[in-house]
């Protein structure tokens, strides 16, 4: 049994949950709360400087602190799930996600209702202190991933370019490559700040702040492809 430290609503964590479930890896859920869980995670990783992020998978042979490396580990006995070119798709999906997060993060910070609705447990039990902690978490995420130096227009341009590249990669579908693979999982994750999927479990007010209706319309074909992919391939263990 391996331990997955993850953030319920984070698309990076969902990538890891999906590939672990798909490859039949038995994993124990260790929920992570931004800010509050960080000292504990640093201790468990023995990493006291630099940044830490989730997902992190703890295996008997060591910690794997990145969604891509977790996917590589999970698919080591199933190379067909990791065809050539998947790394590039993952990098493109990351660009869409990181820019989407920067823009959505500013929307969440400006929306009290969305902030209240985004409080992860146990911050949700702490009233206004929990809301403050959530806002602090978002500010720290924007700083930590150095996304606050670019303005919204620059982020949006990067997000759109990445989504266009993914749209091309998916083509007429149903998969990025010849058969279902991690490339599909990571490409699907890129839509989380366009039209977040219900399986991220976001509260409606938070989902509204994450969503970008204009981009959802522009990339409606990609969103429909993602929804079908989740229906057909998101097995839960
Ligand atoms: N390179 C990492 C990036 C993961 C990432 O950005 N995680 C964010 C999700 S919002 C995180 O850990 N946020 C919580 C925090 O920074 O405390 C991966 O792919 O696993």
Residue 145 lies in a domain: no
Cα(132)–Cα(151) distance, rounded to whole angstroms? 24
CATH code of the domain covering residue 36? 3.40.30.10
Q: Which of 32-41, 69-78, 202-211, 223-232 has the lowest mean pLDDT?
A: 32-41
pTM: 0.95
Query: Ligand 1 centroid vs 200 CA: distance in angstroms?
Result: 15
Residue 33: pLDDT band (50, 70, 90) is confident
Asked if the structure places residue 16 within a domain, the reply is: yes
Of the spans 19-23, 120-124, 199-203, which averages the highest pLDDT? 19-23
**Three-class SS state of 147:** coil
232 falls within a domain: no
Q: What is the pLDDT of residue 70?
A: 98
Tell me, yes or no, whether 205 lies in a domain.
no
- Mean pLDDT, to the nearest integer, of 122-146? 84
Read off the pLDDT band of 202 (50, 70, 90). Answer: very high
Ligand 1 atom closest to Cα of 66?
20
| 13, 21 contact by CB (below 8 A) | no
Q: How far is the CA of 145 from the centre of ligand 1 (A)?
A: 9
Best substitution site from 15, 32, 36, 54 to test ligand 1's pocket, by max atoms within 8 Å of Cβ?
54
CB atoms within 10 A of CB 161: 14
Taking 90 as the threshold, does the pLDDT of residue 172 lie above it? yes
**Residue 20 resides in a domain:** yes
CA of 13 from ligand 1 middle (Å) equals: 8
Asked if 167 contacts 67 with a C-beta cutoff of 8 angstroms, the reply is no
Where is 14: in which H helix or E strand? helix 11-22
The per-residue pLDDT for 3 is 98
Residue 70: which domain range?
2-80
Would residue 51 count as lying in a domain? yes
As for how many domains the chain has, the answer is: 1
Ligand 1 binding site (Cβ under 6 Å of any ligand atom): 7, 10, 12, 34, 38, 53-55, 66-68, 141, 144
* 236 is a domain residue: no
Residue 233 has pLDDT above 90, yes or no: yes
Residue 148: predicted pLDDT: 66
Kindly state whether residue 60 falls inside one of the protein's structural domains. yes
How many C-beta atoms surround the C-beta of residue 134 within 10 A? 26
Cis peptide upstream of residue 140 (ω within 30 degrees of 0): no
Does the structure show a pLDDT above 70 at 85?
yes
More confident residue, 35 or 213: 213
């Amino acid at each position: 049994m391996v331990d997955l430290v993850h953030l319920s609503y984070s698309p990076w964590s969902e990538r890891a949950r999906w590939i672990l479930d798909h490859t039949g890896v038995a994993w124990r859920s260790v929920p992570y709360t931004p800010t509050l869980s960080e000292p504990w995670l640093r201790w468990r990783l023995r990493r006291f400087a630099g940044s830490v992020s989730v997902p992190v998978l703890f295996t008997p042979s060591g910690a794997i602190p990145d969604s891509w490396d977790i996917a590589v580990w999970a698919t080591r006995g199933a190379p067909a799930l990791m065809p050539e070119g998947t790394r590039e798709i993952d990098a493109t999906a990351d660009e869409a996600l990181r820019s989407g997060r920067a823009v959505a993060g500013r929307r969440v910070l400006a929306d009290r209702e969305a902030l209240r609705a985004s409080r992860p447990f146990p911050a949700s039990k702490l009233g206004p202190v929990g809301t403050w902690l959530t806002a602090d978490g978002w500010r720290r995420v924007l700083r930590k991933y150095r996304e606050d130096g670019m303005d919204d227009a620059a982020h949006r341009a990067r997000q759109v370019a990445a989504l266009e590249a993914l749209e091309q990669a998916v083509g007429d579908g149903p998969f990025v490559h010849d058969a279902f693979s991690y490339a599909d999982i990571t490409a699907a994750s890129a839509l989380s700040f366009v039209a977040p999927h219900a399986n991220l479990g976001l509260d409606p007010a938070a989902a509204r702040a994450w969503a970008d209706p204009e981009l959802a319309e522009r990339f409606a074909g990609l969103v429909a492809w993602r929804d079908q992919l989740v229906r057909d391939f998101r097995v839960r263990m």
